[in-house]
Structure formats: structure tokens, C-alpha cells
Structure 1
Amino acid sequence: MKDAQNTVGNMLDKQSVSFIGSVSADGFPNVKAMLRPRKRDGIRTIYFTTNTSSMRVGQFRENPKACVYVCDSRFFRGAMLTGTMEVLEDSESKEMIWQEGDTMYYPGGVTDPDYCVLRFTALSGRFYTNFHSECFEIPEA
């Protein structure tokens, strides 16, 4: 893959939905659709919002292994990033990605105890297009 940072980054920015994967307590994979990431630093660090009380947050606290998948159905291509997910509840992280309208999900505002940030750190990736897939490494920042 010529430029994973640019290709996968553009997919993350342009698709309205991406998917996160976690590991359940009994070791099975779980996948959840999410709104596009709120912020990203290249494709190595990706930020999402979610409810602190969600099942997924509990799973990431137990086992941080995770993946993020994004697909572009128009061109039948997709990318999976594998790495770890952290649950952040500090005010700096919450304020960093807060957006107008978030009170629809978190009525208590940016300090709502049921609002948290998921920070995904990618270690490697796999890209699929034109009936071919290839793995790629993600360099440290």
C-alpha cells in the first residue's frame, strides 16, 4: 500500500460510520457501529465518544485489545486497524472532542458522568481493495 496514512485517514474522515471491535468476558469478538471518529492523529490515534455505562466500555476496561474497521461501499474497499482502546474520563480529553449537540446523548454536558472518550491506538492494519488485501505497519509518531 502506497500511503496508508492518507488512504485510510480519508476513509475515516469521509464515512459517516465506522466499527469498533472488543473482546467479551468469554473471549468472543463483539462489534459495534460508531459515528465517525471525533479526532485522529494520523491513523495511529483515533478518538470516539461513548457512554461510560456502555457494555463496550466495560469490555475495554477488562481487555484493551481492539480493532477499528471502516469501509467504503461505493468502491468496495475497507481497512481494519488493530491495537488497543483506552477509556478516558479526564476533563481535558472530554473537552477536546466535545461538540455542540452532544447534550442529545449526554444531557449533563461535558461533565456528564456517562460521557467518556475512547482513545484507540493502532499497531497494524489490513487494507482490502480490488479483490486483494495487504497488511501494513503503523509507524510510531
Structure 2
Amino acid sequence: SMRARQYQDNPKACIYFCDRRFFRGVMLLGSMEVLEDRIYKEMIWREGDTMYYPEGVTDPDYCVLRFTATQGRFYSNFNSENFNII
């Protein structure tokens, strides 16, 4: 897929979780790996996934993305704080 190729070319990634009710959130920075080994694909495969990947676990468009965070930033009450993840 386009996104998997993007991460293969440049593994830098960021994810953000937001609690809109309390106007707070956390951003995690790190890297994304594209895993294509059958063992990882079978690990998260669920019944019904053939709706998106008709050939099942062996579908060439099916892969697993593994995100590893190295640092983050927490936002709350109009303040933010950076933190490292060991």
C-alpha cells in the first residue's frame, strides 16, 4: 500500500491520542516498521478481515505496522510537557 511504502522509505512516525472532553492529549513520536512475516500477520488476523484482504493472510496488500515510541508530549490545561520513553 501507499502508506506501507512511505514507512519503508522513511520510518519516522507520530501518533496522537485526544480526549476532547477534557481538552488534553498525548503525542507519541517514534518509528514505524512494516512487518510482512506470516507469523506477525497471523498474530493479529481476525475473522472477517477477508472483507479487506480477500486472499487472507497471504494477501500481498496485507501487512502489519509496528509503532515504537521513543518520546512524547502531553497536553493538558493549555500546558505541555515533553517526556522520553525508555
Question: What do the CA deviations read for 1:41-79 (whole angstroms, capped 9, x no partner)?
Answer: xxxxxxxxxxxx2x2111111111111111121221111
Sequence identity (%): 73
- Secondary structure of the residue aligned to 1:60 is helix
- In the alignment, which residue of structure 1 is the partner of 2:57? 110
Instruction: Give 1:124 deviation, angstroms.
Output: 0.3
- In the alignment, which residue of structure 2 is the partner of 1:86? 33
Question: Matched residues in 1 for 2:3 and 2:11: separation?
Answer: 10
- In the alignment, which residue of structure 2 is the partner of 1:16? none
Which runs of 5 or more residues in structure 1 are unaligned?
A: 1-52
Question: Matched residues in 2 for 1:63 and 1:124: separation?
Answer: 18
Which structure has the larger Rg?
A: 2
- In the alignment, which residue of structure 2 is the partner of 1:96? 43
RMSD (CA atoms):
1.1
- In the alignment, which residue of structure 2 is the partner of 1:26? none
Which runs of 5 or more residues in structure 2 are unaligned?
A: none
Aligned positions, number: 86
Question: Matched residues in 1 for 2:33 and 2:3: separation?
Answer: 11
- Amino acid of the residue matched to residue 130 of structure 1? N
Given candidates 69, 76, 82, the residue that maps to 1:129 is 76
- In the alignment, which residue of structure 2 is the partner of 1:17? none
Given candidates 51, 57, 66, the residue that maps to 1:119 is 66
Q: Compute the TM-score of the two structures, normalised by the length of structure 1.
A: 0.58
Question: Matched residues in 1 for 2:6 and 2:20: separation?
Answer: 29
- Secondary structure of the residue aligned to 2:22 is coil
Question: Matched residues in 2 for 1:127 and 1:98: separation?
Answer: 32
- Amino acid of the residue matched to residue 80 of structure 1? M
Q: Which runs of 4+ in 1 moved over 6 A?
A: none
